[in-house]
Amino acid sequence: QVQLQESGPGLVKPSETLSLTCTVSGGSISNYFWTWIRQPPGKGLEYIGYIYYSGTTSHNPSLKGRVTISVDTSKNSFSLQLTSVTAADTAVYFCARGGFSAYTQGHFFDHWGLGTLVSVSS
């Protein structure tokens, strides 16, 4: 059974860079899309972006180019960097796997990490 685990600092200062890693176990990172999704406290889910195992990326344009997603196939992990953070970036950050079906690739999320809370505060 595929499992995902987020790791990284729980507190980031305003204007600095948020960095998180998602480690995948129980399966290979190859041949799948890997995504980041966040949820501000008490609010709904927001899609951040994805990376394909080969390195192709895409991110939510609402984040205005502050997002970098990278993959390390040797460590079976992928990472998120979000620059110039503000209090509005305080959220639980989830990593998830993009599923494959006969009709879609990567557009639904079939395995999720438990999530990690990142607070932005000085």
Partner 1 sequence: QSVLTQPPSVSAAPGQRVIISCSGSRSNIGDNYVSWYQQLPGTAPKLLIYDNNERPSGIPDRFSGSRSDTSATLGITGLQTGDEADYYCATWDSRLNTALFGTGTRVSVL
Region 10-69 residues binding partner 1, contact defined as CB under 8 A: 35, 37, 44-47, 49-50, 58-62
Q: Which region among 15-23, 67-75, 77-85, 97-105 touches partner 1 (by CB under 8 A)? A: 97-105
DSSP structure class, residue 43: S
For the bound state, the minimum distance from the C-beta of residue 67 to partner 1, rounded and expressed in Å, comes to 11
Our CB check for partner 1 shows the closer of 84 and 104 to be 104
* 88 counts as binding partner 1 under rule CB under 8 A: no
Total number of residues binding partner 1 (CB under 8 A)?
27
Binding site for partner 1 (CB under 8 A): 35, 37, 44-47, 49-50, 58-62, 94, 99, 101-104, 107-110, 112-115
